[in-house]
Amino acid sequence: MLLLTKKMSELNHNKIIIIGAGLTGLCTGCYLQMKGFSTEIYELHNLPGGLCTSWHRKGYTFDGCIHWLVGSGPGDNFNNLWNELIDMKKVKFVDFDYYLKAEDLKGNSFKLFADVDKLEEELLRFSPEDKIPIKEFCKSAKKFSKLNMPIEKAPELYNILDGLKIMFKMLPYSFLFSKWRKISQNEFASRFKNPLLRLAFSMSEFEDMGATFNLFRQSWMHKKSAGYPIGGSLEFSRLFEKKYTELGGKIFYKCKVEKINVENHKATGIKLETGEEIKGDLVVSAADGFSTIYKMLEGKYVGKEQEKWYSTGITFPSLVQVSFGINKDFSSEPHSVIYPVSKPIKLDSKSVYNHILLRIFNFDATMSPPGKTVMYAFFATPEYKYWTDLRKNNLTLYRTEKNRIAGEVLEAVEERFGKLNPYVEEIDVATPATIIRYTNNWKGSYEGWLFVKGLGFINLKRTLPGLENFYMAGQWIEVGGGLPGCILSARNLSQIIEKKFKN
């Protein structure tokens, strides 16, 4: 039921158009519907979720997203947010005892336990000579686990009292935070003398990733609020699609938005790839930032901030994901393991890996038939252009390259798990071209702006200079991306729109 207020009813079409049915678009739709606005979502794919997705192949489900969901457990402010839209008690989360097992070729290993005390004990056992960085990391992670992010209100709506309250809340953490945010993850990792600790803590593919990223993950895992939802990412996204439609929202799939229509510097609606035009009072883009600003709006509303970020900002890389459906039980194996490989895995000219990071879905029985297992490796690559050009210009070679990579990865897996070839029933290789085709994300990035060292928790402006009735939300607004960023972005924007258009 549309609850129109005076200001909103002065607008013409009583409708807010949202571009994109990723987690951000769905959450934005939910919050706006809950606030009495009428919304419609236009999505290029035939599924909800955007990057938060999974796909089915011959009885196996290959997951493309959630490793850890901030706010999965009670007692965290993000949990309150998720609960506003879905019943989190009905989602079964796995809280891993450890995040990753690291192994070397000589049979040495350690686990990155979620519990910080266990982690400290394990790492000190494994590498006593690294006592200083181990203690430093663990002490800080424990301290940050007590922090509950102040996310009740959009920062744009803070008054002086809100500002003071937040300053007061953050004060006990500000010294520690400013110390950690000065260093990158790799700089921190280089402090370890032990090479396996360096491997587990470094992020070779994310050169500039700030050290706070790992630290916060650890602190959320410690307080059991960074779990994995049984059923996987698409099932999780579907919960928001369901909520949105129950709230009266409408989603139009297979509707690629080509243009945002503008009259007198006011967004008036959208034009689809098919040529169809849809009018709306407000347009919210929850889609890729670059194509929104430079293609759908033809680069006509670019301010200094957008110019700076889109010319020098560092993005999460793209990736190649190799998934296997294996007719074998791996229940006694770790769910996540990293190890060096004797033969490098070459993805493309810029991405050669001497190690492999494997995820073994022995913790989610819904992903494969009984007795069978899904296993996947994923590798970051900046070479999105190479992959999209190859797919466009030489589909045969593109497929040959995917097969070659799958073969190299399988060899690396077999180095650790023994002969698997006879048990492999399905292989799927997703490349940057796949990400771009299905989600349209700039450079095939899988999480938007990288949380580089030096940055705090910031967001870009949600509006563009000179353009009215238009907003943006999602991973291209909230630096660091991720699913909590989606719901936070959506919620903040809905508060801003409510304030502006309701009395």
**Which strands, in side-by-side order, build the sheet including 266-272?**
257-263, 266-272, 277-279
225-245 in b/e form (b: 16+ CB < 10 A) is: bbbbbbbbbbbbbbbbbebbb
| 278 lines the binding site for ligand FAD (CB under 6 A) | no
| 446 lines the binding site for ligand FAD (CB under 6 A) | yes
| 52 lines the binding site for ligand FAD (CB under 6 A) | yes
Task: Select from 29, 50, 249, 289 the one that contacts ligand FAD (CB under 6 A).
Answer: 50
Of 194 and 223, which CB lies nearer to ligand FAD in the complex structure?
223
Task: Select from 287, 375, 405, 497 the one that contacts ligand FAD (CB under 6 A).
Answer: 287
Return the C-alpha torsion angle 423, 424, 426, 428, nearest 10: 160
| Least distance in angstroms from the C-beta of 290 to ligand FAD | 10
| 214 lines the binding site for ligand FAD (CB under 6 A) | no
Of 72 and 127, which CB lies nearer to ligand FAD in the complex structure?
72
255-274 in b/e form (b: 16+ CB < 10 A) is: bebeebbbeeeebbbbebee
| 65 lines the binding site for ligand FAD (CB under 6 A) | yes
| Least distance in angstroms from the C-beta of 63 to ligand FAD | 8
- Print the binding letters for residues 403-422 with ligand FAD: x by CB under 6 A, - otherwise: --------------------
Of residues 455-484, which lie at the interface with ligand FAD (CB under 6 A)?
474-475, 481-484
Task: Select from 15, 45, 359, 372 the one that contacts ligand FAD (CB under 6 A).
Answer: 45
Q: H-helix or E-strand containing 85?
A: helix 77-85
User: CA angle, corner 243, sides to 241 and 244, nearest 5?
Assistant: 65
Stretch that binds ligand FAD, among 15-23, 183-191, 381-389, 394-402 (CB under 6 A): 15-23
Distance CA 472, CA 22 (A): 13
Q: Which amino acid is at 192?
A: F
| Least distance in angstroms from the C-beta of 318 to ligand FAD | 9
| 212 lines the binding site for ligand FAD (CB under 6 A) | no
| 451 lines the binding site for ligand FAD (CB under 6 A) | no
| Least distance in angstroms from the C-beta of 91 to ligand FAD | 14
| Least distance in angstroms from the C-beta of 279 to ligand FAD | 17
Task: Select from 66, 149, 199, 377 the one that contacts ligand FAD (CB under 6 A).
Answer: 66
Distance CA 475, CA 36 (A): 25
Instruction: Using the Cα atoms of residue 501, residue 487, residue 489 and residue 79 in order, give the sign of their dihedral.
Output: positive
Q: Residues binding ligand FAD: what is the number (CB under 6 A)?
A: 39
| 432 lines the binding site for ligand FAD (CB under 6 A) | no
| Least distance in angstroms from the C-beta of 190 to ligand FAD | 25
Distance CA 49, CA 239 (A): 10
* Residue where the block lists tokens 């709006």: 297
Distance CA 173, CA 196 (A): 30
Of 133 and 317, which CB lies nearer to ligand FAD in the complex structure?
317
| Least distance in angstroms from the C-beta of 160 to ligand FAD | 31
| Least distance in angstroms from the C-beta of 20 to ligand FAD | 3
Q: H-helix or E-strand containing 312?
A: helix 304-312
| 23 lines the binding site for ligand FAD (CB under 6 A) | yes
Of 152 and 273, which CB lies nearer to ligand FAD in the complex structure?
273
What is the Rg, in whole angstroms, of the alpha carbon atoms belonging to the chain? 23
| Least distance in angstroms from the C-beta of 173 to ligand FAD | 21
Query: Is the separation of the CB atoms in 261 and 267 below 8 Å?
Result: yes
Of 147 and 296, which CB lies nearer to ligand FAD in the complex structure?
296
| 64 lines the binding site for ligand FAD (CB under 6 A) | yes
Task: Select from 44, 189, 293, 367 the one that contacts ligand FAD (CB under 6 A).
Answer: 44
Task: Select from 31, 60, 68, 192 the one that contacts ligand FAD (CB under 6 A).
Answer: 68
Task: Select from 122, 288, 401, 428 the one that contacts ligand FAD (CB under 6 A).
Answer: 288
SS3 419: coil
| 441 lines the binding site for ligand FAD (CB under 6 A) | yes
What sections of 127-231 are H helices per DSSP?
Answer: 131-144, 160-180, 185-189, 195-201, 211-222
- Print the binding letters for residues 252-271 with ligand FAD: x by CB under 6 A, - otherwise: ----xx--------------
- For residue 196, give both structure tokens: 């396996």
| Least distance in angstroms from the C-beta of 45 to ligand FAD | 5
Of 15, 487, 489, 17, give the one whose Cα is nearest residue 296: 17
| Least distance in angstroms from the C-beta of 273 to ligand FAD | 8
| Least distance in angstroms from the C-beta of 209 to ligand FAD | 14
Distance CA 477, CA 486 (A): 9
Q: H-helix or E-strand containing 373?
A: strand 373-381
DSSP secondary structure string for all residues of 13-72: S--EEEE--BHHHHHHHHHHHHTT--EEEE-SSSSSBTTS-EEEETTEEEE-S-S-EET-
Distance CA 236, CA 72 (A): 12
Task: Select from 19, 138, 338, 410 the one that contacts ligand FAD (CB under 6 A).
Answer: 19
Phi, psi for residue 335 in degrees, rounded to 5: -80, -15
The residue ranges that bind ligand FAD (CB under 6 A) are: 19-25, 42-45, 50-52, 64-69, 256-257, 286-288, 291, 378, 439-441, 446-447, 474-475, 481-484, 486
